[in-house]
Chain A
Amino acid sequence: MNPADMMQYVPQALDYVRILPEIVLALFGMVVMVLDPLLPEERNQRVLGGIALAGGLAAMVATLITANSPGLAFWDVIQVDAFSSFFHFLVATVAVVVILSSYEYMQVQEIRAGEYYALILFGAVGMSLMSSATELVLIFIALEISSISTYILAGFRRRSAMSSEASLKYFLLGSFATAFFLYGIAMMFGATGSTSIRVISQALRAGNTPVLAYVAVALMFVGLGFKVASAPFHIWTPDVYEGSPAPVVGFMSTAPKAAVFAVLLRIFFQANAPGRLWLIWVSAALSMTLGNVGALVQTNVKRLLAYSSIAHAGYLLVAFAALPANGIPAAMFYTASYAAMNVGAFAVVSHFASRGERYVTLEDYSGLGRRSPLLAATLTIFLLSLIGIPITGGFFAKFYVFSAALQANLTGLVIIGVINSAVGAYYYLRIIVMMYMREPKEDTPLAPVPVALGTALAISVFATLYLGILPNSVLAYAARSAADLLR
């Protein structure tokens, strides 16, 4: 082989620029791991947290740099475009907010472990990679990086049996689901002769669709549906969310979900997967209904928010059943606003939970409005957004999703969705009623909100309201990304 031919197997500088956020996150994660044993134990939490925070912020900056050089990298397995940048930025922001809200939590829970922050960063590497990968095998690897990090993070309250249960349950069921995804990739290879989304797209567009492709899409959907907690693959969600540390739930209910939704968008729309409509229709309708009905009877706030996240996965899936031109931006907008409000809600939950996560039932929240007016008001904003009240991100998220579905003549699905939103209002309001209209059980004032958590909450509130008052810029960006994706 002559040297000129060899050159084509050597990555170019631009290739590395296009995975800059992943490189940055991984490097910072490694620094955290290396420094962890070197620092004195009482100091390392703050230092390592700070490094991780810097890593998250650096990843946000790196995303902006990468976004300026769109294109393919590493022999076409990576595609950097507006679409991937959108999700990169989202994942990095969520990571930053979660790191900020973990700071105090880790101290209060007396969890000493530097690898906690490293795992968040490594998880973010996987999630970022998922949104820019256009090769199914790479997507699988990225999915595993992200999943394994979250499996471990779920078990971080080591003294609690529930946390270990959550971790183990998540790991066993998650591995099982990933196997389905892998099996689907194999089938897709059999059907089209490739694992590259671009080639698959051409093959599926070219002639009549082989039956195997339908099977492949269904199997992949099982694997990914599990990760986003959509029905009927949602059974694990309440237990895992209840047992895992609260900031981790905030993380794993938003960032990996966003990344998996990005993968779903690529598979369904970019690869032009067959049999999309009915698969999505059934799963969306089931998720919305089971999620909301399940949430109605919960007495534990973390479980309640777990069921609510199932319901929101359902609303989001409605966008996948719509036409690509409206559906993709609607889904992206929903992902962003859901991330903002949910990560914020869990930040409040993690502060309020106190040592050993003692205060997590609905009863515990009674009188919160009296004990900590600011915290209660913040949670109220997130809950109103989860209901979908105007001038919060949640409203426009639902609006865009449902109007995209209406334009695709999915009236039935929209009716199911609207009824579910009305049902959903009830259990979110129950929390608000508890906070403001019930007397507190204990009069002890809450621990003041530390600066880090305050910043995390401020970011979430700002994002929630910004998406609700000025949704234009984000939606326009999402629409541009959709055009990129479909090109």
Chain B
Amino acid sequence: MNSPTLDSAILSLVTFIPLAGALLLLLFPRRDRDIRVFALVVSLLAFVLSLHLPVHYDRAQAGFQFELNQPWISTPHIHYHLGADGISLWLVVLTTFLTPLCVLISWKSIHERVKEFFILLLILETALIGVFVSLDLFLFYFFWEATLIPMALLIGMYGHERRVYAAVKFFLYTMIASVFMLAAILWLYAKTGTFDLLAIESAIRNGQVTGFATAAPWLFLGFFVAFAVKVPLFPVHTWLPDAHVEAPTAGSVLLAGVLLKMGTYGMLRFNLGLFPEQSRQNASWIAVLALIGIIYGALVAMVQPNMKKLIAYSSISHLGFVVLGIFSFTQAGLDGATYVMLAHGVSTGALFMLAGILYERRHTYEISEFGGLATPMPAYATFFLFIVLASVGLPLLNGFIGEFLVLSGAFQARAVWGILGASGVIWSACYLLWMYQRVFFGKVRHSVNESLPDLLAREKAALWPAAAAALIMGVAPLLWLNAIDPAVQSALAPFAQLSKLVGR
């Protein structure tokens, strides 16, 4: 079963099956139902194949597995180098897990240009997976940029009223920021003659890169700016609420669920991996920005009259936890950061799906338009409550584990970070539960809402997996953490040495 050929091919398969599906869809006649079914089948196939990764991942061994390293282009030296460690493998599974749910949730809400929609969705999936499995900086940059176009088109073609504005803003923000990363990548290539992440890492560690000492602060910033915009970190977060509010539901799910994690994944992999010293030096202001993000995001979320915008700002707050955890440089902090990435992907993805389900029925996200929905839509209200509690960080659900780990890591690093960060947990309970109360409790205030249909079987099919994942991730975190742990340890290895050198 665990043959070496399958092991080395599995990442390529998982990455490119959605793309192959998209190309096949091109040839399909415009029969919307067939297209939807086919997209679902392809995304499920990718999910099932991606399960090979956690099943056959050797947890006793740190470092990258399922590696495939083939020369691709000789000038410049670009290799087709894929691999996954305990962090990226879960992000891949998260992506393949969310995509079929996106297909289900878009079943009826996308009714024109259906073919284009699912083609874009599948191309986006390929690009997202590619980002997480690339071990060649060029390949990484390519997939990174490749996520941009389908996402911008999804927002711009299928979004709401101000979709063009939101799509262009999203595109320009992330495109301009990633130019800095490209510059840093090209500098590294010019000095080392390779795009290979592992080769560059060891060259830096062994001091073989001339002029690295003077350039490193700028290189660190080049990468960091690109990732910070993606996360998004305060104060470069302003594209996010616009993009989310205007995006179609599936776009929001993948945007919040996976796209934002590209930023935090990048920080973990590239900023910490290539520039440990500079990460250490810059940690304090980055942590401050993360804390501002946690608290500011939560406070702004609280006053949003628009449900989708509220969830968008809550993402800024949650992603602040991830950044705080990463730049605490502690085992608990990094474990927690990775766990929050996954948990946030599941629960915020589900929240956006729930918001989308309501929008399909009422064509509004305004919280004031609702009230007392628990009466006409009991099943919907139950799912919503469950996901809200998961997102708030109720123990035994997925949000709790990650936030707890992050905060304990932050305390170890600097107590005041932990205290300020912990306040974010309270804020998130405030805005989410208050929103829940206004939407679901009390009497039905608008008569249109009295006859709203409850969840359809298809919608339940999309929500059940998310809810189940939230629960399992809450009660059995070790299933995930035993793979994350060794990866985090090796990510932190240079910091242990550094601490000895600095004497901390």
Contacts and interface: CB of A to CB of B under 8 A. Distances in A.
Contacts of A24: none
B453 interface: no
Contacts of A471: 73
Interface string A369-395: 110010000000000100001110000
Interface in B93-148: 113, 115-116, 138, 141-142, 145-146
A2 to B, nearest CB: 55
Interface string A445-487: 0000000000000000000000000111001100000000000
Chain A's interface: helix, strand, loop or mixed, by majority?
helix
Contact of A437 (B146, B157, B179): B157
A399 B142 CA distance: 13
A438 interface: yes
Interface string B72-102: 0111100000000000000000000000000
A470 to B, nearest CB: 8
Contact of B141 (A390, A400, A476): A390
Nearest to B74: A472
B116 A373 contact: yes
B156 A436 contact: yes
Interface stretch (B160-168, B323-331, B363-371, B465-473): B160-168
A418 B113 CA distance: 36
Given A389-B145, A390-B142, A425-B175, A437 B156 contact: yes
A437 B167 contact: yes
A391 B73 contact: no
Contact of B171 (A370, A406, A418, A429): A429
A390 B116 CA distance: 22
A169 B76 CA distance: 43
Given A373-B116, A472-B74, A475-B75, A433 B149 contact: no
A391 B164 contact: no
A403 interface: yes
B461 interface: no
Interface residues on chain A, size class: 20 to 34
B190 interface: yes
B247 interface: no
A326 to B, nearest CB: 10
25 contacts: A369-B113, A370-B113, A373-B116, A390-B138, A390-B141, A390-B142, A390-B145, A391-B146, A399-B76, A403-B186, A406-B190, A418-B183, A422-B179, A425-B175, A433-B164, A433-B167, A436-B156, A436-B157, A437-B167, A438-B164, A470-B73, A471-B73, A472-B73, A472-B74, A472-B75
Q: Pick the 5 closest A-B CB pairs, nearest first.
A: A437-B156, A390-B142, A437-B164, A436-B157, A472-B74
Nearest to A403: B76
Contacts of A470: 73
Nearest to A387: B175
A350 to B, nearest CB: 24
B402 to A, nearest CB: 34
A372 to B, nearest CB: 12
B157 A384 contact: no
Contacts of A475: 75
Nearest to B187: A406
B153 interface: yes
A369 B190 CA distance: 40
Contacts of A400: 75
A422 B171 contact: no
A195 to B, nearest CB: 36
B246 to A, nearest CB: 11
B28 to A, nearest CB: 12
Given A425-B175, A433-B168, 18 more contacts: A369-B116, A370-B113, A373-B116, A390-B145, A390-B146, A403-B186, A406-B190, A422-B175, A422-B176, A433-B164, A436-B153, A436-B157, A437-B153, A437-B157, A437-B163, A438-B164, A472-B74, A476-B74
A225 B5 CA distance: 55
Contacts of B73: 470-472
A363 to B, nearest CB: 14
Interface string A413-433: 000001000100100010001
A455 B77 CA distance: 33
Contacts of A429: 168, 171
A433 B176 CA distance: 17
Interface in B39-90: 73-76
Nearest to A437: B156
Contacts of A406: 190
A475 B77 CA distance: 13
Contacts of A433: 156, 164, 167-168
Contacts, number: 51
A33 B339 CA distance: 74
A385 to B, nearest CB: 13
A370 to B, nearest CB: 7
Contacts of B113: 369-370
Which of A389, A391, A437, A438 is most buried by chain B, counting CB atoms within 10 A of its CB? A437
A373 B112 CA distance: 13
Contacts of A422: 175-176, 179
B50 to A, nearest CB: 23
Interface string A290-308: 0000000000000000000
Nearest to A374: B26
Contacts of B171: 429
Contacts of A369: 113, 116, 157
Contacts of A425: 175
A400 to B, nearest CB: 8
Nearest to A479: B75
A391 B142 contact: yes
A384 B149 contact: yes
Which of B141, B163, B186 is most buried by chain A, counting CB atoms within 10 A of its CB? B186
A310 B147 CA distance: 30
Contacts of B186: 403
A279 to B, nearest CB: 27
Contacts of B74: 472, 476
A472 B76 CA distance: 9
B34 to A, nearest CB: 17
A380 to B, nearest CB: 8
B466 to A, nearest CB: 30
Nearest to B112: A370
Contacts of A370: 113
A73 B186 CA distance: 44
A400 B145 CA distance: 19
Nearest to B165: A437
A457 to B, nearest CB: 14
Contacts of B179: 418, 422
B193 to A, nearest CB: 12
Nearest to B155: A437
Nearest to A399: B76
A422 to B, nearest CB: 6
Contacts of B142: 390-391
Interface string B165-194: 001100100011001000100100010000
A445 B168 CA distance: 27
Contacts of B156: 433, 436-437
Nearest to A402: B186
Nearest to A470: B73
A425 B175 CA distance: 10
Contacts of B115: 373
Interface string A345-372: 0000000000000000000000001100
A389 B127 CA distance: 14
Nearest to B171: A429
B35 to A, nearest CB: 13
Nearest to B148: A389
B164 to A, nearest CB: 5
A389 B142 CA distance: 8
A430 to B, nearest CB: 9
A287 B76 CA distance: 27
A438 B74 CA distance: 42
Nearest to A407: B190
B154 to A, nearest CB: 10
A480 to B, nearest CB: 13
